[in-house]
Amino acid sequence: AQRVTQPEKLLSVFKGAPVELKCNYSYSGSPELFWYVQYSRQRLQLLLRHISRESIKGFTADLNKGETSFHLKKPFAQEEDSAMYYCAPQTQGGSEKLVFGKGTKLTVNP
């Protein structure tokens, strides 16, 4: 069965510290991978996607096919990064469905 795991429900760091939000997936084939973010009182929105190899708001995510992981990283966390983060692999085969992890709530303390 296709599955995505975000092992940390809650993650708390201090401002300026590095942060890593973990995501592991179990999929047949090679899924496309996304990170979505939901800030307080805002709608869920795309943060970044693997296919674009981009860095958004200082965040990057590296796909490790051997470990089947897509961890989200930022070298220096900011208070405005506090939010709920969801890892979401996308199935292939025409349906383009996203399968969301249960999310990690990141709190960046001053």
- Contacting positions for another protein (CB under 8 A): 9, 32, 34, 43-46, 49, 51-52, 86, 90, 92, 94-103
Q: CB 97 → another protein: shortest distance, Å?
A: 6
With respect to another protein, which residue has the nearer C-beta, 52 or 55?
Answer: 52
Instruction: Kindly tell me which of 38 and 68 has the beta carbon lying closer to another protein.
Output: 38
* Residue number with CB closer to another protein (22 or 49): 49
Among 59, 104, 77, smallest CA distance to 17 is for 77
Closest CA relative to residue 108, chosen from 37, 24, 36: 37
| Residue tagged 């970044």 (tokens) | 48
**Helix, strand, coil % in the chain, rounded to nearest 5:** 5, 50, 45
